[in-house]
Structure 1
Amino acid sequence: MTHEAFAPLTIAEYAAQAALTDQRSDGGSLAFPLLGLFGETGSLLSEVKKKQRDRTSYRGYAGAVVEELGDVLWYFAAVAFRTGVPLPGVFAEAVSATGNDGAITLAALQPDIMPRAGDPTAAFERTLLKLAGEVGILVMDAQGQGGEKSIGLPRNRLVTIARTLIQAANEAGVTLEAAAIKNLAKISDRWPRERQYPAPLDALADAEERLPRSIAIEIFEREVRGRTYVFQRRNGINIGDRLTRGTGQPPQA
Structure 2
Amino acid sequence: MDARTSPPSNDRFDPSKTPEHFVILPPEIRDGRMSISTYQQIAKTTDKLPDEGLELTVLGLFGEVGSLLSAFKKRQRDRAAFKRYNATILEELGDTLWYFSTLATRAKIDLSTIAQLAFRKLADWSSVKPADPTLGFADVQSRHDQPVPEESFSAQVLALAGCVGDLLNDFKTGIFDHNRDKLSAHMVEIFRALVAAADSADVDMGAAALENLKKTFSRWPAETTYPPRFDAGMPKNERLPPWLEFYIAEETAGEKKYVIQKCNKIIIGDRLTDNKMERDDYRFHDVFHLAFAVHLGWSPVLRALLHLKRKCDPELDENQDGARAILIEEGVATFIFGRGLECELFEKVDHVDYDLLKSIQDFVRGYEVAWCALWQWEKAIMDGFSIFRQLVDKRKGYVMADFENHTISFREGNDEDE
TM-score by length of 1: 0.74
Match of 1:15 among 15, 35, 40: 40
For residues 147-199 of structure 1, the C-alpha deviation after alignment (integer angstroms, 9 at most, x for no partner) is: 87x97352111100000001111111111111111111111111101001245
- 2:414 partner letter: I
| Residue aligned with 1:55, SS | helix
Match of 1:167 among 182, 196, 207: 196
Counterpart CA distance in 1 for 2:230 and 2:141 is 47
Match of 2:156 among 127, 130, 139: 127
- 1:106 partner letter: F
- 2:113·2:128 contact (CA, 8 Å) conserved in 1? no
Q: How does 1:5-84 map to 2 (within 5 A)?
A: 6=31, 8-24=33-49, 26-84=50-108
- 2:117·2:128 contact (CA, 8 Å) conserved in 1? no
Match of 2:222 among 182, 193, 213: 193
| Residue aligned with 1:178, SS | helix
Match of 1:145 among 174, 190, 196: 174
Counterpart CA distance in 2 for 1:70 and 1:57 is 23
- 1:37 partner letter: L
Q: Structure 1 residues 52, 115: CA separation in 2 closer, same or farther (over 3 Å shift)?
A: farther
Over aligned residues, Cα RMSD in angstroms? 3.3
Q: How does 1:68-107 map to 2 (within 5 A)?
A: 68-96=92-120, 98-101=127-130, 102=132, 103-107=134-138
Counterpart CA distance in 1 for 2:223 and 2:31 is 24
| Residue aligned with 2:39, SS | helix
- 1:30·1:147 contact (CA, 8 Å) conserved in 2? no
| Residue aligned with 1:154, SS | helix
Q: Structure 1 residues 84, 233: CA separation in 2 closer, same or farther (over 3 Å shift)?
A: same
Which residues of structure 1 form unaligned runs of 5+?
A: 218-228, 240-253
- 1:64 partner letter: T
Give aligned-pair identity as a percent: 33
Counterpart in the other structure of 2:331: none
Counterpart in the other structure of 1:178: 207
| Residue aligned with 2:40, SS | helix
Counterpart in the other structure of 1:114: 144
| Residue aligned with 1:196, SS | coil
Counterpart CA distance in 1 for 2:43 and 2:36 is 10
Aligned-pair CA distance for 1:126: 1.4
TM-score by length of 2: 0.47
| Residue aligned with 2:80, SS | coil
For residues 210-230 of structure 1, the C-alpha deviation after alignment (integer angstroms, 9 at most, x for no partner) is: 374689x9xxxxxxxxxxx96
Structure of greater relative contact order (alpha carbons < 8 Å, 6+ residues apart): 1
Which of the two has greater helix per residue? 2
Counterpart CA distance in 1 for 2:78 and 2:66 is 18
- 2:101·2:111 contact (CA, 8 Å) conserved in 1? yes
Q: Structure 1 residues 231, 58: CA separation in 2 closer, same or farther (over 3 Å shift)?
A: closer
Q: What is the count of residue pairs matched by the alignment?
A: 220
For residues 58-99 of structure 1, the C-alpha deviation after alignment (integer angstroms, 9 at most, x for no partner) is: 221111111111100000001111011111111110011745
| Residue aligned with 2:93, SS | helix
Which residues of structure 2 form unaligned runs of 5+?
A: 1-28, 249-392, 399-411
Q: Structure 1 residues 99, 133: CA separation in 2 closer, same or farther (over 3 Å shift)?
A: closer
